[in-house]
Structure 1
Amino acid sequence: MAQDNQFNFVRDARIPIINLQDAPGEHQAWDRPKRAIYLWAIFELLFIHNPWQISSSLRVRILRLFGAEIGEGVIFRPRTRVKFPWKLHIGDRSWIGEGVWFHNQDHVFIGNDVVISQETFLTTGSHAHRRDMALVTRPIHISPGVWITARCIVLGGASIGQSALVMPMSVVKGDVDANTVVAGEDAHFVATRFDLS
C-alpha cells in the first residue's frame, strides 16, 4: 500500500489505474466535421433542450434539418436532448416526453407509435473499462408500440420488442420480449401487457 499525494488516498499498487489523460476521447463518435457538431450544439440549446413550450413541429423540423429521420405526427416535448441528430430514427406518431435524453453516440431506432416518457435516458455509449477507457458503442432498437415510462435507462445494445412496457425507473440492458411488462434494474418480467387469447 502506498500513500497517494492527492487527497491522502491510500493506493493499492497491485490494482491498475487507467491514466485518463491517455484515454481516447469522446471525439471517437464524431462522424461529422467539428463545425457541424458545434452548430448542432447551438441549435440543440436554443430549440430542443429549451424549456419553453415552443412548437413540437419546430423541434422536429430542426432535428430533420440536422439529419434525424423522424416520421409524421411525432410529438417532441421540451427539455429534450439529442447528442447527434443524424443518428436518431423515429417512426410515425411517436411521443417523446419532456426531459428525454438521447445520448446517441451510436444509432437509436424507434418504431411507430412508441412512447418514451419523462426524464428517460437512452445511451448507446460505454467505455472499455479494463483496457484504456476507449469509447464502445452499440445501437438501441425499440419496436413499434413500446411504452418506456418515466425515468428509465436504456443502454446500448438493448432491443425492446413490440408493444412491451418498461415500468418507471427500470434499466434495460439487453433484450425485452414483445408484449411484456418489465421492471427494475434488471428489467425482469412482471406481466403480459395485452391478453392475446
Structure 2
Amino acid sequence: MSDIPVIDLSRAPGERAAWGRPTWQVYLWAVCELLVVTNPWQISSSLRVRVLRAFGAQIGRGVVFRPRTRVKFPWKLHIGDRSWVGEGVWFHNQDHVYVGDDVVISQETFLTTGSHAHRRDMALITRPIHIEAGAWVTSRCVVLGGSRVGRSALIRPLSLVDGCTVPDGEVWGGNPIVALGPRFPQEAVDE
C-alpha cells in the first residue's frame, strides 16, 4: 500500500457551482451553442453574436465571431467593440472573461477560468481572465484563470499564459511564458 493519498472524486464539491443559471437554461444554451456557435458552417458572424447576446453575453459592436467557437457560459462573457474571435476558440468560462475593444483571439486558443483544489478535495476554483484593448492572443495559446493580458500586448503562438500579468505593449511567449520585447519598438512608432 502506498502512503500517497487518492482523492475520492465522487465527493468533489462544486460540479454545478459555476453555472450561475437554472439547469434548463444551461441545457438550452448547449443546444443553441451546438447549432449556431460551434457549427462549422460559414454562417453569419452576426447570427452567432445575436444568439450569444440572447443568453446574456455582453458583446460590443462590430465583433467578428468565426465558426467552431465554444462558449461554456455566455452570461460570463464580455467582449468590447470590433474584436475578432478566431475559428475554434474555446471560452471555457466558469468565471468571467473580459475582452476589451479591438482584441484579436486567434484560432484554436483555449481560455479557461477554472481549476481544482488538487491537494485537498478537487473543489472547483475559478478566477476571471482580463484581456485589455488592442491585445492579440495568437493561435493555439492557453490562457488560464487569473491572467491579465495588457493593452496592445501580443502573445506568441502556442504559449501558456499561466495566471500572470503581461504588461501593456509587450510581446510574450513560450511555456513557461517570458517577455520577448516590445510589440511596437520606438523606431517603428516614430516613423
Instruction: Tell whether the structures are fold-level matches, with TM greater than 0.5.
Output: yes
* Residue matched to 2:108: 119
* Alpha-carbon distance, 1:82 to partner: 0.1
Instruction: Answer yes or no: is the 8 Å Cα contact 1:128–1:134 preserved in 2.
Output: yes
* Residue matched to 1:36: 25
TM-score by length of 2: 0.96
* Residue matched to 1:22: 11
* Alpha-carbon distance, 1:196 to partner: 3.8
Task: Measure the CA separation in 1 of the matches of 2:97 and 2:115.
Answer: 15
* Residue matched to 1:193: 183
Structure 2 runs not aligned, ≥5 long: none
* Alpha-carbon distance, 1:143 to partner: 0.3
* Residue matched to 2:69: 80
CA-based RMSD: 0.8
Asked if 1:150 corresponds to 2:142, the answer is no
Alignment length, in residue pairs?
186
Letter in 1 for 2:170: T
Structure 1 runs not aligned, ≥5 long: 3-11
* Residue matched to 2:173: 183
* Residue matched to 1:107: 96
Task: Measure the CA separation in 2 of the matches of 1:110 and 1:186.
Answer: 23
* Alpha-carbon distance, 1:120 to partner: 0.1
Letter in 1 for 2:174: G
TM-score by length of 1: 0.93
Identity %: 66
Task: Measure the CA separation in 2 of the matches of 1:139 and 1:186.
Answer: 20
Task: Measure the CA separation in 2 of the matches of 1:167 and 1:191.
Answer: 11
4+ aligned runs moved over 6 Å, structure 1 = none
Q: What secondary structure is seen at the aligned counterpart in 2 of 1:60?
A: helix
* Residue matched to 2:43: 54
Letter in 2 for 1:124: T
